[in-house]
Chains A and B, each alone.
Chain A
């Protein structure tokens, strides 16, 4: 089933999401939480996951086609919002797949309440700091440098850079960037209090990381594994910050194997 655009009014925020794939009656729900640059289009990995799951891809409050609510001040606000979102859509045992900022949101949700969460797949998540693994300064990088740093294989960067720039795409990029700054400027891309409560996460966790991640270095993956010893750690070689793009097939296989086992 192709993806359809849907909207939901929740916590005073008109929220846009895409939903596609197997019907909710015979497949587990999978919520993909996007990273700092949003989820403006349906990507191949979403289509592939939709062969096995009921896939839901929301635009976070303050991103994409969702509204910018006044209450949006920090990452905790987003976590509570998504706990409401799972309830509003009556999702049960949802697989939460979060990339980068989205992975951070997934962690903040799961330390609060896992009643509607079946498992977590954290794809190079922000949220936790590690000594000797300084994130890139995403707010100071020029746009082209930023795109190049996202990928190990530069053909992916070339493709992105070749996409036409429109007034609409500029507006979206500025909106997403604004919200990312609001949530992650300081403390930079992490919550110093989060490690204290990671033990509360009582569902299976898979950590996925690209070995050559130049945005959030792979050292953070090892710190996260240290903090969550029961988590399954998967490191892709010759891969940057977006394994779901650069290693699409392997990534989707991993999600299916992990979430369905």
Chain B
């Protein structure tokens, strides 16, 4: 199994009371709550943590994109991935992902990813996402065109990476007279493409298509849901007439390894609950603007609303498999069990979450690297 250290880079110095009072840390939390001096220390701490991940033996270090929120301070994952490209030597760098429909010009994404791939000597893993619902509010991009823009931007980027230029691209949303990428990507035919998702049939059908076979990542979901969607991906491959390889599946999950089960829970509790009850929360109108999902999915979410939008304690999260927490032995056993059921070839662990401070994050990473990572790497 390939082990990925994934970071959201939250604004961990957040005044949680301000976040709670505002009802969400997305879109509308006034940015006077962001202190640039604290931000300076956080960015450098988080980049250090990712670089340390390489030293600890992770195969991949991963960043992602979120806008105008304390949940994650990476409006451009290009910036953080670029910094990592120069400071790491062996580990692959994953951008999970660039939010294609939010960008006004997909060629810019093609160029930036190609630059990082060339600078890093072919260590880039590219990810494409649509951005979450809240970001359609902050960016003004029309959510009812989200899927169309995603697909068209994807097509333009992959063609720009693989077809000899110059050529012209005349789409419905994007039109370019001269597509002629300098630099072309280092990897042939292009960097691997991963698709992080909260789970949707449309995304699975598209990502698993024989022309693409993109790695599908189920992010921050109860383990039952992870199980359902990874199985759906495998079944879809079968229906397309090919067998799904384990490398096509991944799971992204927050993890905390302590000296014992009891101390792990004690140390992680307030920081995880800040994550699940402050950083993640938003009203349904913000999460799911019209057109972002099908109306059927929207209705299902509305039905599950009470459950989804209630407070989640660490104990409930562990029970649901939203969070994997305990001694190295407990965490290893849990992942071995999940792996036997689901055979995901990529495990993305988030060793920092919510307000988890630097010392606990490092201790967590070290215990994971020493006590869990070697045994999981060996799973094949």
> In this complex, what residue of A is CB-closest to B285?
A140
Q: Flag whether B142 is at the interface (Cβ < 8 A).
A: yes
A170 to B285 alpha-carbon distance, docked (Å): 15
Known contacts: A171-B295, A186-B142. The answer to whether A178 contacts B290 by CB under 8 A is yes
Q: Is the CB of B141 within 8 A of A142?
A: no
Q: Flag whether B337 is at the interface (Cβ < 8 A).
A: no
The smallest C-beta distance from A71 to any residue of chain B, in angstroms, reads 12
Q: Is the CB of A185 within 8 A of B140?
A: yes
The smallest C-beta distance from B23 to any residue of chain A, in angstroms, reads 10
Q: Flag whether A181 is at the interface (Cβ < 8 A).
A: yes
Q: Out of B27, B142, B283, B286, name the residue touching A185 (CB < 8 Å).
A: B142
Q: Which chain B residues (129-165) contact chain A, with CB distance < 8 Å? A: 136-137, 140-145
Q: Which of A142, A175, A182, A185 has the most CB of B within 10 A?
A: A185
Q: Out of A141, A178, A182, A185, name the residue touching B285 (CB < 8 Å).
A: A141
> In this complex, what residue of A is CB-closest to B286?
A140
Q: Which chain B residues (284-298) contact chain A, with CB distance < 8 Å? A: 285-286, 289-291, 295, 298
A114 to B240 alpha-carbon distance, docked (Å): 55
A174 to B297 alpha-carbon distance, docked (Å): 12
Residues from chain B with a CB closer than 8 A to the CB of A186 are 140-142
Q: Flag whether B201 is at the interface (Cβ < 8 A).
A: no
A137 to B136 alpha-carbon distance, docked (Å): 13
Q: Which chain B residues (69-103) contact chain A, with CB distance < 8 Å? A: none
Q: Flag whether A22 is at the interface (Cβ < 8 A).
A: no
Q: Flag whether A180 is at the interface (Cβ < 8 A).
A: yes
The smallest C-beta distance from B308 to any residue of chain A, in angstroms, reads 16
Tell me the count of chain A residues lying within 8 A, CB to CB, of chain B: 17
Residues from chain A with a CB closer than 8 A to the CB of B299 are 170, 174
The smallest C-beta distance from A37 to any residue of chain B, in angstroms, reads 13
The smallest C-beta distance from B172 to any residue of chain A, in angstroms, reads 9
Q: Which chain A residues (165-194) contact chain B, with CB distance < 8 Å? A: 170-171, 174-175, 177-178, 180-182, 185-186, 188
Q: Is the CB of B285 within 8 A of A139?
A: yes
For this complex, into which size category does the number of interface residues on chain B fall?
A: 10 to 19
The smallest C-beta distance from A229 to any residue of chain B, in angstroms, reads 32
Residues from chain A with a CB closer than 8 A to the CB of B298 are 174
Residues from chain A with a CB closer than 8 A to the CB of B283 are 140, 142
A180 to B136 alpha-carbon distance, docked (Å): 15
Residues from chain B with a CB closer than 8 A to the CB of A180 are 290
Residues from chain A with a CB closer than 8 A to the CB of B141 are 186
A76 to B277 alpha-carbon distance, docked (Å): 43
Q: Is the CB of B140 within 8 A of A181?
A: no
A182 to B290 alpha-carbon distance, docked (Å): 8
Q: Is the CB of B144 within 8 A of A178?
A: yes
A182 to B137 alpha-carbon distance, docked (Å): 13
> In this complex, what residue of A is CB-closest to B302?
A170
Residues from chain B with a CB closer than 8 A to the CB of A175 are 295
Residues from chain B with a CB closer than 8 A to the CB of A181 are 142-144, 289-291
> In this complex, what residue of A is CB-closest to B27?
A140
A207 to B291 alpha-carbon distance, docked (Å): 32
* Per-residue interface assignment for chain A, residues 138 to 173, with 1 indicating a CB less than 8 Å from any chain B CB and 0 otherwise: 011110000000000000000000000000001100
Residues from chain B with a CB closer than 8 A to the CB of A188 are 140
A233 to B304 alpha-carbon distance, docked (Å): 47
A225 to B302 alpha-carbon distance, docked (Å): 42
The smallest C-beta distance from B136 to any residue of chain A, in angstroms, reads 8
The smallest C-beta distance from B300 to any residue of chain A, in angstroms, reads 12
Q: Which of B136, B285, B289 has the most CB of A within 10 A?
A: B285
Residues from chain B with a CB closer than 8 A to the CB of A137 are 137
Q: Which of B144, B286, B291, B298 has the most CB of A within 10 A?
A: B144
The smallest C-beta distance from A16 to any residue of chain B, in angstroms, reads 19
Q: Which chain B residues (271-286) contact chain A, with CB distance < 8 Å? A: 283, 285-286
Known contacts: A139-B289, A142-B283, A142-B285. The answer to whether A182 contacts B142 by CB under 8 A is yes
A47 to B169 alpha-carbon distance, docked (Å): 54
12 inter-chain pairs at a CB distance below 8 angstroms, sorted by A residue, are A137-B137, A140-B137, A140-B283, A170-B299, A175-B295, A181-B289, A181-B291, A185-B136, A185-B142, A185-B143, A186-B141, A188-B140
8 further A-B contacts with Cβ under 8 Å, apart from A181-B289, A188-B140, are A140-B283, A140-B286, A141-B285, A142-B283, A174-B290, A174-B295, A185-B143, A185-B290
- Shortest Cβ-Cβ A-B pairs, 9 listed: A181-B290, A182-B144, A185-B142, A186-B140, A178-B290, A174-B295, A177-B290, A181-B144, A140-B285
